[in-house]
Amino acid sequence: MIEPRDDLTLGKLSLSYRVLFTGFLLVIGLGLCMAGAQIMLTHGMADGKPGLSMNDIVYSYYGNRSGSKMEAALTGQMKSKAPDDVRFSMIQWVRDDAPVAEWIKVGPLFEKYCASCHDATSGLPEVGKPEVAKGLAEIDHGASIASLTRVSHIHLFGISFIFLFVGWIFAMAEFNQRWKLILISTPFAFLVLDVASWWLTKFWPGCAWITMIGGFGYSLAAMVMFATSFAQMWLPRWTKK
Ligand code: HEC
């Protein structure tokens, strides 16, 4: 096994490279935290409760096939937005397959209780409009094939570049050679596993746990590589040799 050449270890890099790599790792680290927060805020709330759970993952990819987004909202996050009898009429309408003819009755309710937030400027679905309300009343089939394809390719291209550079920097660290190879390769393996798990969950909701493991796996590998790289670039123990 070829060990890194002595002049290539992180502690011996010139200040310029250490500053460059530190800047890169700090920004990427911040990006990863934001990605985590974004997952908590979007997928994390999919089941109407804060925090990422297995149900969130199932709802996001497989969908909540026991009901529609509208019903889930009316019994979950939006529960406090209208009195019970109003929500009851709305849910009845949703369960009757959202007949357009009945809109004269329920339309004004959506207009009165919901449209104040769900207006054109809010970026939220305009539930005061019949076609929007009807769309949300359909059974939720989760992520579409089109959106999964789009997100998958962006994810695979984008994240592999992040780990190429993170791994490149970490490759210059002094570290047990076997563990170094494992740490450099795991993020790529987990990345493929993660994306594969979305597709599997789309068709078999029982696969949601793979998504959890995928995300956990590369976060852990990234943390070890970050911490080691920072330490060896700046702590005297490595720079003073
Ligand atoms: C006080 C403002 C407010 C009111 C009033 C309100 N909503 Fe919402 N609604 C929101 C916000 C904010 C979100 C996004 C929540 C999120 O994504 O975490 C949301 C999300 C939703 C969603 C989920 C949209 C999606 O694409 O998944 C539905 C459905 C919904 N609301 C329906 C309603 C209905 C029906 C009413 C009236 C009974 C209503 N809302 C009243 C603020 C409001």
Whole-number Å distance, alpha carbon 118 to ligand 1 midpoint, is: 7
Predicted pLDDT at 193: 92
The pLDDT of residue 212 = 83
* Residue owning tokens 């790599």: 21
CA 179 to chain centre: 28
* 47, 68, 77: residue to mutate for ligand 1 pocket, most atoms within 8 A of CB: 77
User: What spacing in Å lies between the alpha carbon of 148 and ligand 1's midpoint?
Assistant: 24
- Which residue is listed with tokens 């908590």? 40
Residue length, the chain?
241
Q: Are 6 and 233 in contact (CB under 8 A)?
A: no
pLDDT value for 6: 55
CA dist., res. 42 & res. 59, Å (int): 11
Supply the pLDDT for residue 26: 95
For the stretch 106-140, pLDDT in tens is: 999 999 999 999 998 988 999 999 999 999 998 88
How much distance in Å is there from the Cα of 47 to the middle of ligand 1?
A: 13
- Answer yes or no: are the C-beta atoms of 106 and 90 closer than 8 Å: yes
- Spans in the chain with pLDDT lower than 70: 1-7, 241
Query: According to the model, what pLDDT value does residue 157 have?
Result: 93
Show the ligand 1 pocket: residues with CB < 6 angstroms: 45, 69-70, 73-74, 77-78, 81-82, 113-114, 116-118, 124-125, 127, 136
What is d(CA 5, CA 14) in angstroms, rounded to the nearest whole number? 15
